Amino acid sequence: MNSNVTRRTAIGLGAAAAALAATGRPAAAAEGRASAAPATGTRATGGVEVIRRTYLEQKAAAGGVWHSHIAMVDRAGTLATVVADDADRVTHGYSVQKLAVAVAVMDKIDRGQLRLDQRLDLTADIILGGSGIYFLQTVWGDQVTVANFLTAMLLVSDNTAVRMCGRVVPALEINDILAAKGFVHTRVEPVANPNRFYLGVTTPRETHDLLWRLANKTILTPRSADFLLGILRWINGYHDGIRRTMSSAERSRVATKYGADYDELGAARHEAGIMFDPAGAPTLTYALFADSLGDLDNYGSTHPAVQAHAVLGRTMFDAICTTTNRAARARHHVPPFRPVDGG
């Protein structure tokens, strides 16, 4: 973990123990640059070129060091890489890593060893601040379901919810599940307490793979995949980045998760997700990891990297408006979002 452990990275430990747990930057693959040419067999459409150009422009404007992967279904219905910029870099996932934790929990549910309606007590000693909702209650003693804390973890990035996940799927088991699913680098970082952990590391390419398999219902059962995607696509989620300049209906077609922290190299602002066509078929994935940035304490929409995400989000969404994943339309149909009321 970081030599400067912050409120968002100390998921697994108390403050005193966190200060003793600091380590260096993870090992990384060779440096790369954003891909300038289409993948083999891919026809470079106007939308693809606009995404590439916008990515390079926004990366330069925001500064820092970026590690990214963007892929989109082309006109032939094939998923093709649009941007591969240092996509195999092993990097701290921060709260984007909560996607992998959620997949591990749902895998245990799929195997019948856990239930979404199983209840756990929410006690004061497990509460962690930084982001989320549980710490805002000021009094605790709730009985919450697995479904409840998974929703809090993905929708509002609740850090206490990560500790709740660790109570039902210990750190080493999470890593075993991820390894069994073929992930080489995506891991949480165990600590002395087996039920707590740091969020650990991943790569842009593995994050893309997780998202694509989740959207295509191949990493989990369809029911479990739909549960997680329903949370990630809900319009009350994160709006500062990719989904900032979208309507409610457009936002409901984007499943997204952000992560933000800082270390000795500077601020990190990450966001990863998947966009769907109007029939609900997965059409575009993005995994944007940016570190060594300034503006350390700005977690809002004015951070330059988050502003870059917003521009990229609009650009990518506009690019898929004319793209239909016909091969997946039937099995991925999701009704359009319709608000119930204004409350």
* Structural contact between residues 204 and 226, judged by C-beta atoms closer than 8 angstroms: no
The 10s digit of each residue's pLDDT in 219-255 is 999 999 999 999 999 999 999 999 999 999 999 999 9
H-helix or E-strand containing 8?
none
Give residue 234's pLDDT. 97
Spatial CB neighbours of 122, under 8 Å, sequence gap ≥ 6:
134, 140, 141, 142, 143, 144, 160, 164
Between CA 211 and CA 251 the distance in angstroms is 17
Q: What are phi and psi of 56, to 5 degrees?
A: -65, -40
Determine the distance from the C-alpha atom of residue 196 to the mean position of all C-alpha atoms in its chain, rounded to a whole number.
Answer: 20
Between CA 147 and CA 118 the distance in angstroms is 8
144 pairs with which residues across the strands? 120
What single-letter DSSP state applies at residue 327?
G
* Structural contact between residues 41 and 265, judged by C-beta atoms closer than 8 angstroms: no
Q: Which residue has the tokens 């709730």?
A: 142
The 10s digit of each residue's pLDDT in 280-318 is 999 999 999 999 999 999 999 999 999 999 999 999 999
Average pLDDT rounded to a whole number, residues 145-149: 98
Determine the distance from the C-alpha atom of residue 138 to the mean position of all C-alpha atoms in its chain, rounded to a whole number.
Answer: 28
pLDDT at 40 over 60: no
Between CA 149 and CA 166 the distance in angstroms is 11
pLDDT at 133 over 70: yes
What single-letter DSSP state applies at residue 185?
S
**What average pLDDT does the structure give for the chain?**
86
Q: Does the domain at residues 45-89+203-322 carry the CATH identifier 3.30.70.2860?
A: no
3-state helix, strand, coil in the chain (%, to 5): 35, 20, 45
Between CA 130 and CA 113 the distance in angstroms is 30
pLDDT at 343 over 50: no
Between CA 107 and CA 189 the distance in angstroms is 19
Closest residue by Cα to residue 287 from 67, 80, 113, 123: 67
pLDDT exceeding 90 applies to what percent of the chain?
78
Taking the CB of residue 108, how many other CB atoms lie within 10 A of it? 17
Between CA 277 and CA 253 the distance in angstroms is 7
The 10s digit of each residue's pLDDT in 74-119 is 888 899 999 999 999 999 999 999 999 999 999 999 999 999 999 9
Number of helical (H) and strand (E) elements in the chain, helices listed first: 10, 10
Burial of 57 per CB tally in 10 Å (0-12, 13-18, 19+):
middle
151: tokens are 């929703």
Average pLDDT rounded to a whole number, residues 188-203: 97
pLDDT band at 45 (very low <50, low <70, confident <90, very high): low
* Structural contact between residues 255 and 226, judged by C-beta atoms closer than 8 angstroms: no
pLDDT exceeding 70 applies to what percent of the chain?
80
What is the reported pTM? 0.84
